[in-house]
Amino acid sequence: MRVPWFSAVLAWVLTLGLAACAPLSRVTLLPDADGRSTAVQVQGASGVQQLDQPYAVAAVHRTGAVDRAQTTADAVQQQFGALLSLQPPGVQRFVLQFEPGTAMLTPDSQAQLPSILAQARALPGGELVVVGHTDRTGSPQANDVLSLQRAQAVRALLVEQGFQPELIEAVGRGEREPLVPTEANVDEPRNRRAEIIVR
């Protein structure tokens, strides 16, 4: 599992802030802003704890033992609110759907495009990544090509709307990352998509 860089830095700062107290150090796992699972392993001289739930805490004692506890969002906010306010904005994701077998947006996605572009433009992130996906109809090789075509089509729309081309990356994932897992050759509209990730 991944640990967001800011969460890792913040956990390190929390550790430093508590180092003068017993226990020797403490690590608090913060939730990832976009809802993905995170985890960190905390090891002392004579023990280790896996933190894999939001607000799980590992305390490393002078003996090297590592204890696990749980805190709450309110407790962390109360103690470290000023530090938490310095977090950069989280990654934002927008999803567009496509007509079967094409790089043409569905009418619903075309209608949502102006709103999505306005929201993306208002976000402070400097880079956009467009990730194209397919359902499992057709061959994996053809789906790799189609997913990239979808990402490139959305990238072209973003450039037309004034986004700087050098700040937009287009990648295809084929059928590898479905929103809805299916068997081969199942037509699933929710998997025919492109995600615009603002970071």
Question: In angstroms, rounded to a whole number, what is the distance separating the alpha carbons of residues 108 and 35?
Answer: 26
- Contact of 38 with 32, CB cutoff 8 Å: yes
- Which residue pairs from 76-79 have beta carbons closer than 8 angstroms and sit at least 24 positions apart in sequence? 76/28, 76/30
What is the rounded average pLDDT of the residues 105-109? 95
Q: Mean pLDDT across the chain, nearest whole number?
A: 85
H/E element, 197: strand 193-198
Q: What is the pLDDT of residue 125?
A: 65
Residue 17 has a pLDDT of 47
Question: Per-residue pLDDT tens for 4-61?
Answer: 545 554 554 455 444 445 678 889 988 876 666 688 898 888 888 898 989 999 989 8
Which fold, 92-198?
A: 60s Ribosomal Protein L30; Chain: A; (3.30.1330)
Please report, in angstroms and rounded to a whole number, the separation of the first and last CA atoms in the chain. 19
The predicted pLDDT at position 116 comes to 85
The pLDDT tens digits for 61-89 are 888 889 999 999 899 899 888 888 887 66
Cβ(128)–Cβ(196) below 8 Å? yes
State pTM to two decimals: 0.62
Give per-residue pLDDT as tens, 110-124.
999 888 888 888 877
How is the chain split into domains, by residue range? Answer: 5-84, 92-198
